[in-house]
Amino acid sequence: MMAKLKNMMNMPAKTTIKVSQELRSKLAEIGNKDETFEEVIWRLIRRAEPERSGEVATSKSSIIQYKRKKEFVELEAGILKNVGFEYEYNVPPKKEGEWELDIKILKVYYSQKSYNPSEFFGVDGEHKYFSDEFIKVYFKILADILIKDFGITKLKNFVSSQLLQILEWRKVYYENKLSKESFTNDVEDILIDLSKRQIDIKTRKQLGNSVVGC
């Protein structure tokens, strides 16, 4: 009895937050099968928390210092060839341990012009799962980083369909003992969002009016 009481006293304090039914339904929609609402909210906070002086939150209780690295790569985007992408990502202190890459596409260069991602794809980076071409480019960039920085040459043989398969990525991360945090935030969450996406009329119009959608 005393042990049970002691455990209850050590539990974090709980509070109640009033939200609309619409928001509650949205949290349930984007949550994983076994996630509580609190876990969903923490996941969203970790993804949306702004960068401050190179600091990136990787969990509720720890902050890892990262250097941000800028790179440029030329890829295809849909039927468009010779498209340049300037992007940045976290440079992990070491391969071992927990880290995330947090890839951000900064600029897109095509046909003598530069675009921000929302102009080129029709959606911004936080909503990239709405655009098939944005998602494909994102995972091509992720593969390129793991090839160059971690020497995972197996990814050179990946075809486009493999880049969107969570099982293929899980094998890559498992076989190379890469960060579980990176797998969750850089791969799994994004593919879950992709599988659950519902494109409304407004977003569909934005995609159609984008550079890659025209």
Tell which wins on pLDDT, 34 or 8. 34
Question: Is 87 a member of any domain?
Answer: yes
Please determine, for residue 56, whether its predicted confidence score (pLDDT) is greater than 60. Answer: no
Q: What is the pLDDT of residue 51?
A: 45
| Mean of pLDDT over the chain | 83
Give the dihedral of Cα atoms 44, 50, 51, 52; nearest 10 deg: -130
- pLDDT digits 0-9 by tens, 70-115: 999 999 988 899 999 999 999 987 777 889 999 999 999 999 999 9
Question: Is 3 a member of any domain?
Answer: no
Is the Cβ–Cβ distance between 68 and 61 less than 8 Å?
no
Q: How many domains does the chain have?
A: 1
Question: Is 188 a member of any domain?
Answer: yes
Q: What is the pLDDT of residue 23?
A: 76
Domain of residue 99 covers: 66-209
CB-based contacts of 143: which residues, under 8 Å, 6+ apart? 155, 158, 163
Q: What is the pLDDT of residue 64?
A: 60
The predicted model scores a pTM of 0.71
Question: Is 152 a member of any domain?
Answer: yes
- pLDDT digits 0-9 by tens, 60-71: 334 466 789 999
Q: What is the pLDDT of residue 141?
A: 97
Q: How many residues does the chain have?
A: 214
* Section 17-37 average pLDDT: 71
* Section 118-123 average pLDDT: 95
Question: Is 156 a member of any domain?
Answer: yes
- pLDDT digits 0-9 by tens, 136-175: 999 999 999 999 999 999 999 998 889 999 999 999 999 9
Please determine, for residue 57, whether its predicted confidence score (pLDDT) is greater than 70. Answer: no
Q: What is the pLDDT of residue 78?
A: 85
- pLDDT digits 0-9 by tens, 34-43: 667 777 777 7
